[in-house]
Structure 1
Amino acid sequence: MNPVLEARDLEVEYRSKRVRAKPFQALRGVSIEVRAGETLGLVGESGSGKTTLGRAILGLAPVAAGSIVYDGRDITRLRRAERRELGREIQAVFQDPYSSLSPSMTIESILTEPLAAAGASKKDARAKVLDLLDRVGLPSVARSRLPREFSGGQRQRIAIARALALDPRVIVCDEPVSALDLSTQERVLDLFIEIQERAGVAYLFISHDLSVVRHISHRVAVMHRGEIVETGSGDQVTSAPMHPYTQRLFLAAPVSDPDVQRERRQQRRDLVLGVGRD
């Protein structure tokens, strides 16, 4: 199956305002592909470059070299109008459900906004809003309420509904459950899976948490210092990682058994010391 979204040897640089300062290279030769209807988990610690890759795909980070290809079309350097048009195909769900929704707009207005921009009539937009709320498990009466009246998990459901409004083929999910408690995380992840099974949408799912990535991903790519260091199936990478950096992530993941947790901490310390001697 041909990928619906690709990054090919992608490099992103941020230039300093100081005249002679070297640009900071956030991504170095990164290549990934996301197939239709699948989830590619992108995992790494803070500063690894995973969010920068998501922003580059969305046209929000400066690409210095390489290319981004959507459905066979190079979208690396689109004009603003072309990027807006592409918003029908590629959407995003961001980390913070508290700041990603306008506090002064009703839920109906938030969900209607992209539909109106796409030319939908008021009648069709209203019907679509009811369908979207149903798809994310919220009652129809939610449409007349403000974001502050909802919990974090409910707000993230609304953000997901907004991303689905234009029936995209790809959604970039940037740490979409990291601000939620564990029980809410699981419900929202199950919602992502249910929507994918029903709609066939592809996800680039960005997270620092291997357990979250394991729950939702078909394949996993691991980022470290702006590079992909390991790729493979979700089960293989999250259960039996090969690269020392991924092994450290695996051993750092919390487990409920204190004896196992203690053993993992010791293994991680030994691994870090071993890597340091190399």
Structure 2
Amino acid sequence: MTQVVSMPPLLRLAGVRVAYPGHGWRARPVEILHGVDLEVGPGQTHGLVGESGSGKTTIGRAILGLAPVAAGAITFDGAPIHALKGGARRRLSRDIQVVFQDPYTSLNPSRPVGDTLAEPLYGQGVSARQARERVAGLLDQVGLPGDAMRRLPREFSGGQRQRIAIARALAIEPRLIVCDEPVSALDLTTQRMVLDLLAQIQRDTGVAYLFISHDLAVVRHVSDVVSVIERGRIVESGPAAQVTGAPVHPYTRRLLLSAPVADPAAQRLRREAYEREFAGERAS
């Protein structure tokens, strides 16, 4: 029998706690994450889903070095990264990039798109000519015309701006992209186009995604593995089909039942099931 060797995770969070200083004199720190464990494999999409305030974005910020890790460890390719500062943190951006929810606020409104996309390349020592060629290739990869590099962000639609943000994240060929609600501000048709684009890029490059969203339907569509977070704790994790199709934890079931469906009759049944689920939990 051939032995199956599992690949070690690309990203691992082990017992991660994040706490912010309290307000006022002698105020105790406010803990947001309470011992989070999470893994993202090479070339994998790990969906992280939860309601607003659940702590899902804080996980992304901790990975990027934007939130203070009070305890636990974050490792990338086996090396600890949660305490990196300065130049070491900047060098890590070669491997870890991010796509934010609002692409317009993450793009410089006064700079042409080509300059924005070339900036991380210059930071890696790429020449101006090579940067222009790379930017043209990135724009083509995300389905935008070559003349887009001379235009300003305001000249594009929301979906096009998100494509630009994805192109910028891809510029230095990272191994992991943290996608923080990347389609929640887009209409449904544009959402599908952007999700299909992310899937195609993953097939072409092998990049891994940590896909953060409040929408269980979106997470189910794009993820290999799904983790559900409630009030700073992972309450359920497993293969996407299992977690989104037959959830075990009551919170995951509520998320699933609260997602709207197009059929009015099915929506009514789902609403009734949600009310029963919520009433049963309150009674217990």
- Find the partner of 2:56 among 44, 47, 50: 50
Partner amino acid, structure 1, of 2:15: D
Partner Cα separation in structure 2 for residue 215 and residue 100 of structure 1: 25
- Find the partner of 2:124 among 118, 123, 126: 118
- Find the partner of 2:171 among 147, 150, 165: 165
- Asked if residue 274 in structure 1 is aligned to residue 259 in structure 2, the reply is no
Matches within 5 A, 1:101-140: 101-140=107-146
- Scaled by the length of structure 1, what TM-score is found? 0.99
- Find the partner of 1:92 among 71, 89, 98: 98
SS of the residue 1:3 aligns to: coil
Structure 2 partner of 1:244: 250
Partner Cα separation in structure 1 for residue 167 and residue 69 of structure 2: 29
- Find the partner of 2:73 among 67, 78, 87: 67
Structure 2 partner of 1:5: 11
Alpha-carbon deviation of 1:20?
2.4
Structure 2 partner of 1:41: 47
Deviates more, 1:169-178 or 1:16-25: 16-25
Alpha-carbon deviation of 1:27?
0.3
Alpha-carbon deviation of 1:233?
0.8
Structure 1 residues 242-277: Cα deviation after superposition (integer angstroms, max 9, x where no partner): 110000000000100001111111111111111111
SS of the residue 2:261 aligns to: coil
Alpha-carbon deviation of 1:2?
0.6
Alpha-carbon deviation of 1:235?
1.1
Partner Cα separation in structure 1 for residue 260 and residue 281 of structure 2: 22
- Scaled by the length of structure 2, what TM-score is found? 0.97
- Find the partner of 2:222 among 216, 222, 242: 216
Structure 2 partner of 1:234: 240
Partner amino acid, structure 1, of 2:16: L
Alpha-carbon deviation of 1:30?
0.2
Structure 2 partner of 1:23: 29
Partner Cα separation in structure 1 for residue 196 and residue 77 of structure 2: 27
Alpha-carbon deviation of 1:22?
2.1
Structure 2 partner of 1:155: 161
Partner Cα separation in structure 2 for residue 210 and residue 76 of structure 1: 28
- Percent of aligned pairs sharing the same letter: 60
CA RMSD of aligned residues (A): 0.7
Structure 1 residues 139-163: Cα deviation after superposition (integer angstroms, max 9, x where no partner): 1011110100000000000000000
Gaps of 5+ in 2: 1-6
Gaps of 5+ in 1: none
Alpha-carbon deviation of 1:61?
0.3
